Structure 1
Amino acid sequence: YLEDFTKADEIPFDFQRKRLSILVRTKEGNFILITKGAYKNILEVCSYASVEGRILRIEELKGKIEEIYQRYSEQGYKVIALAYKDLRKDNIAYTDEREMIFGGFIVLHDPIKQDSKKTIQELMALGVDLRIVTGDNILVAKKFAKDLGLPEKIISGEELRKYPAEALTAIVRDFYVFAELDPMQKEDIVLALRRLGHVVGYMGDGANDLLAMRASDVALSVENAMDVVKESADIVFSNPDLAGIREAIVEGRRAFLNSMKYSRIQTSSNFGNMLSVLGASFLVPFIPLLPYQVLTLNLLADLSFLTLPSDNVDEEKLKKPTSWDLSKLKKFIVFFGPVSSIFDYATFFYAMHILRAGPDTFRSLWFLESLVTQSLVLLFLRTDKTAFLQSRPSKALVLTVLGVLSSGVFLLYSPFGRLLGLYPLGVEQLIFVFIVTLSYVFLVEMVKRLYAARLSN
């Protein structure tokens, strides 16, 4: 019974010895040293073994012990070795860990979840390269790799020490499973992967993972991990499985791609607006748009982007990681910014030379044309594919854009518009805006193909 024993002293676990020792006092007043740890590290301090109450020399049983150890390890069990001996003192030192009696194994089973192999295949399909980095013995690690469908290219921490530090970058590229590692070796592997240009996420739950987690780009942990590990993690998953990682990657890419849409469309639109305003200041003999009209136009146009973060993303875009590319953004601005200006200048020509409009009509016409083109283009520039036919926007985004357009038309035909200097347009002007909008959308689709061809070259 446990109450018959009292803990008298302890030597904590460390990653050099890979052992933990405690000294217990029995109710009779005797002292027993009990040590547990990694199989090889326990065996090296044992001179004897206990078999059915008999104490034998360890040399007689090493073959049998090794056979048992390998059998359970190859089945994926975590095997912890146990040793003990009697002592005649009430404290212990490192030097007491010798001439001990091998007592047996503690066999633990932490089975892989049934869907783990499928999830790993899904992660690989997303362009995520996986490595198993563990302190478990190489036989257990090999079993895990086989069950998970990973290449069985395995190397142990002991073998890694034989290579120079500069060889590690080649090793982490070629091997998929790293076993029997100490915390510093785990950290070295993470740093080597980063030197190769990878963005590294490391998932850990124990103190031996802290160094590697801090060296990674993204530190991951689970709810049942040690408190200090969870505090060090960037993301803590409530469920300890890989499906959460896959979902996080997909949602992260979705959010990033939608933010890229915003950056591309908004900057190109702003560039086009600047070109239009610059030209209008020379071509129009009065102020083209009043300050509060510009502010209202910008407010309504920006409202179109409110639901963009929840927009649909093309599936093939989610299957590979995407990085921020400023050169591509510049090309996008140069390609699409002037397109909107072309139709702004067409509006100027129509209003000034055909319609011969006064300031109020000119401003109302340009306000509506600019709002319609800026808002609708969001539905077409959000994808590299043909809009609506090959890639559909989310319902929320479509409704938001339609709501903004309705608000703009409402302003023109309501008393609130008079406060902004906006006035109703006739049927002819509305038909013109409709033709300009269709032409703009058609040209945008054509330029998209040209832009895609230029990028591919």
Structure 2
Amino acid sequence: MWKKTRKMKLEFNAEKIFLASELPMSSVFSYFQTAPQGLNNEEVEKRQSLYGRNEVEHEKKMHPLTMLIKAFINPFIGVLTALIIISYIIDVYIAAPEEKDFTSIIIIASMVILSTILRFWQEYKASMSSEALQKMVTNTCTAKRDDGTEHEIGISSLVPGDIVKLAAGDMIPADIRIIETKDLFVSQGTLTGESEAIEKRAETSGGDSRGRSIVELENICFMGSNVVSGSATGIVVSTGNNTYLGTIARSIAGHRASTAFDKGIAKVSMLLIRFMLIMVPFVFLVNGLTKGEWLDAFLFAVSVAVGLTPEMLPMIVTVNLSKGAVAMSRKKTIVKDLNAIQNFGAMNILCTDKTGTLTCDQIVLEKYINADGTSDNSRRILRHAYFNSFFQTGLKNLMDKAILSHVRELEMESVRESYKKVDEIPFDFTRRRMSVVVEDVSGKRQIITKGAVEEMMQICSHTEVGNRVVPFTPELRVKAYEISKRMNRQGLRVLAVAHKSFLSKENNFAVEDESGMVLIGFLAFLDPPKQSAAGAIRQLHAHGIEVKVVSGDNDAVVRTISRQVGIDTTNVLTGAELSVMNDEEKREAVARTRVFAKVTPMQKTEIIALLQTQGNTVGFLGDGINDAAALRQSDIGISVDSAVDIAKESADIILLEKDLMVLENGVIEGRRTFGNIIKYVKMTAGSNFGNMFSVMAASAFLPFLPMLPIHLLVQNLLYDMSQTAIPFDRMDDDYLSKPRRWDASDLSRFMIYTGPISSIFDITTYLLMWHVFGCSSPGAQSLFQSGWFVEGLLSQTLIVHMIRTKKIPFIQSRASWPVMCMTLAIMAAGIIIPFTRFGSCIGLTPLPLSYFPWLAATLIAYCVLTQVVKEWYIRRFKRWL
């Protein structure tokens, strides 16, 4: 099967999967050229070179050369390139030898190189930052290598033929042929859309496997699905793009679903493009008819189109998101999907489990008592709990670890030497319990079960009182519940332990065997609330985020912990209460309730969906197997680095520390990033809308072009450069104080009210140059163009500071130093250019000193009027950014 002569072409082979499914167990190892103890390192290296890394196709990383070419392909560069060609024809190709002039070509080529390098460098840095962040979060699996030793390795290191172990909470790391299972249930929802888990077995039930869908094969687990319960051992059949998931990934790579943010950005671009399509023909025709120079009119119209095109928008958005992600990583928050940042900033409800988030996530076994509440000979309860936790092969939770740790401290681990494991019945979230079957040296076989108190009571027919086993009467049940509730009210999490001895059955134990059991005692665990939790919740509330606790634990414990950290427990809703409500009652209850207890995984998803239908942006923080569906349903899925694989894979954001304070810092950074993007969008929309009026007025009434095409392009380049500092700007505290959602409905209104302000002062500059400086004839057009070039550039650059805050700029709110420095540099460049050789080469002329007091007055008046309109706008429409 394994051809080692050349690198294998990675494509999904359905025939190979069917063949692997049909193999008898006796020949499965020889067919895959492996052994029960796994592959040796030399063979692993050979197969890695043959099949590549176990990675499916995501968004392809763009090669730097491709990125550079893409930076070159944009309207701005296209017009400059056309100007280079025209300049070459006019100034070099058809010019007399003594009149050949390369100056314009050199200047325009320099602009092309500068603009291209600027775009390339910013996007390349953003790409590298994003890639580095992705590498900070990895999933692992357990594989047998060398002599059968189990190793925790990165999923990407798997090769066909590897022997892997699977347990509850694991993601299936490749397409795998199962060779051994124990009550293995797998969720294939990511592949099939079906929410119900299906059972997988080592042996098939027979029949023609070719007549069924490939995902229905009983002994094949597919990459991307996850283990809900049980355990298994299997052989890797296919990896990477050669898996079933790989075929799906290739078909959707590069086709990410559009978010509200994506649609909003597209709407801005289309709005400006529509303006451009109306304006460019108008400018071309008016200038051609009034001036008679159709080539100049065409180049001028095209240059205007470039000025109206938001060519920097993709770069500004990418750099903002990338910078935000890097800043969040410094605050222990890893962003898996850059586009999730805006949802992070928009989140107004956070649903979270309590364990490890509100509590210390350091569970200790506080007490273990008999079923009647006494503590005489209670070590017997601990011994039974230890067997249950030690012998199980599923995912050991924090309480299992607390039991094992406590037994280790008491030096009781030797008790297991007299017992051997016979079988187990894995945990699932419906039963909320798990069982192991053990046998001692005398042959006595017993089933030991531990789990949630209510579910355990349902399978117990007897209990122990003193040293006697007695029927579990209603009175004794009430007493047992009260013992449990009393510990719950102290903030202790309680599990019940039961057993059934002298079993006649020898193997193949199942859920049905969990009946007629004897309740023998309780385990109480303490997970105290974090000292930082109450303060973090207050901070989240102060920033407009309502925290709701959504837990599978019982209501007494959840209520106690929630109250201790300052969450309102007036309304506590349990999963049982939620299940009997109609849709309208559910919507009302979910809106007013802060604490949900004993909810199932599907109810967590339902709660989030109900909140979303009420217009909320909902985040969910979870780290368990039962949280995967809720993480996918939420607007922003948040998990932690220590979470199970399926939770990390389902999340958009990974916290390196399970603390709400870390989350709060990330939210603020998300809002800052989103705010800086909105700044650019509104600056671009308002400025370009104003320029449209200015150019149309100048084209209609002037006997010459108000600016040459090269002037417009240089001005546009300098203005674009000034905006590259926006991602490094700060946001006002009041903007960060509440959630921010993308809303493009305000954009058109914003453009209409703010855009024409700049046109007013452009027109006053026309009048100034025409009447005061005598630029009323074609012979004086260079001075006119220089005056408008400087005024237009400076007013456009100042708009950054006028729009970036709803306060008075420079006085009540100052931009960050990169923005201030870039603004000063661009304004200085704009003033100096007409006095330089570069300026004279592009047709500008030095301005008289008497122009600058007029310029200062114009800019001051512009800022004052903009501030007046801004304050009126905020009073009228109750918003700015």
TM-score, with length taken from structure 1? 0.95
Consecutive unaligned residues of structure 2, counting only runs of 5 or more, are: 1-414
- Comparing 306-315 with 173-182, which one deviates more in the overlay? 306-315
Aligned partners of 2:577 and 2:741: how far apart in 1? 36
What is residue 28 of structure 1 aligned with on the other side? Answer: 442
What is residue 58 of structure 1 aligned with on the other side? Answer: 472
When residues 168 and 63 of structure 1 are mapped into structure 2, their CA distance, relative to the original with a 3 A threshold, is: closer
What is residue 705 of structure 2 aligned with on the other side? Answer: 287
What is residue 505 of structure 2 aligned with on the other side? Answer: 89
2:594 alignment partner AA: Y
What is residue 796 of structure 2 aligned with on the other side? Answer: 374
CA shift, 1:407, in A, is: 2.1
1:117 alignment partner AA: A
Aligned partners of 1:28 and 1:409: how far apart in 2? 98
What is residue 185 of structure 1 aligned with on the other side? Answer: 603
Aligned partners of 1:354 and 1:388: how far apart in 2? 31
- Comparing 352-361 with 2-11, which one deviates more in the overlay? 2-11
CA shift, 1:54, in A, is: 4.1
What is residue 47 of structure 1 aligned with on the other side? Answer: 461
**Structure 2 counterparts to residues 6-155 of structure 1, below 5 A:** 6-50=420-464, 53-59=467-473, 61-86=476-501, 87-91=503-507, 92-152=509-569, 153-155=571-573
Deviations 1:86-143 (A, max 9, x none): 2222221222212212222232222221011111111112111221111000100111
CA shift, 1:371, in A, is: 0.8
Aligned residue for 2:523, secondary structure, equals: strand
Aligned partners of 1:29 and 1:410: how far apart in 2? 97
Task: Tell me whether 1:257 sits opposite 2:675 in the alignment.
Answer: yes
CA shift, 1:219, in A, is: 0.9
When residues 95 and 324 of structure 1 are mapped into structure 2, their CA distance, relative to the original with a 3 A threshold, is: closer
Aligned residue for 2:809, secondary structure, equals: coil
8 Å contact kept, 1:23–1:90: no
What is residue 411 of structure 1 aligned with on the other side? Answer: 833
1:364 alignment partner AA: S
Deviations 1:25-62 (A, max 9, x none): 33333322111111011122123334565434433754
What is residue 218 of structure 1 aligned with on the other side? Answer: 636
Task: Tell me whether 1:449 sits opposite 2:854 in the alignment.
Answer: no
TM-score, with length taken from structure 2? 0.50
Aligned partners of 1:282 and 1:159: how far apart in 2? 72
Aligned partners of 1:426 and 1:110: how far apart in 2? 77
CA shift, 1:231, in A, is: 0.5
Deviations 1:149-169 (A, max 9, x none): 111110211122222233210
What is residue 360 of structure 1 aligned with on the other side? Answer: 782
Aligned residue for 1:240, secondary structure, equals: coil
Aligned residue for 1:21, secondary structure, equals: strand
Deviations 1:278-314 (A, max 9, x none): 1111222222212222111011111222222232222
CA shift, 1:323, in A, is: 2.6
Aligned partners of 1:204 and 1:140: how far apart in 2? 18
Aligned partners of 2:703 and 2:852: how far apart in 1? 24
8 Å contact kept, 1:30–1:88: no
CA shift, 1:16, in A, is: 2.5
The answer to which structure, 1 or 2, has the higher relative contact order (CA under 8 A, 6+ apart) is: 2
Aligned residue for 1:433, secondary structure, equals: helix
1:387 to 806, 809, 813: 809
Aligned partners of 1:242 and 1:350: how far apart in 2? 59
Aligned partners of 1:453 and 1:267: how far apart in 2? 21
CA shift, 1:83, in A, is: 1.0
Aligned partners of 1:388 and 1:293: how far apart in 2? 29
- Comparing 95-104 with 336-345, which one deviates more in the overlay? 95-104
- Comparing 89-98 with 297-306, which one deviates more in the overlay? 89-98
Deviations 1:334-372 (A, max 9, x none): 111111111111111121222123122112111111111
Consecutive unaligned residues of structure 1, counting only runs of 5 or more, are: none
1:234 to 652, 657, 660: 652
8 Å contact kept, 1:135–1:182: yes
2:505 alignment partner AA: K
Aligned partners of 2:441 and 2:819: how far apart in 1? 75
CA shift, 1:239, in A, is: 0.5
8 Å contact kept, 1:14–1:20: yes
8 Å contact kept, 1:297–1:367: yes
- Comparing 170-179 with 50-59, which one deviates more in the overlay? 50-59
2:484 alignment partner AA: Y
Task: Tell me whether 1:439 sits opposite 2:866 in the alignment.
Answer: no
What is residue 617 of structure 2 aligned with on the other side? Answer: 199
Tell me how many residue pairs correspond in the alignment: 457
2:723 to 285, 302, 305: 305
- Comparing 1-10 with 370-379, which one deviates more in the overlay? 1-10
Task: Tell me whether 1:158 sits opposite 2:576 in the alignment.
Answer: yes
Aligned partners of 2:842 and 2:529: how far apart in 1? 66
When residues 450 and 88 of structure 1 are mapped into structure 2, their CA distance, relative to the original with a 3 A threshold, is: same
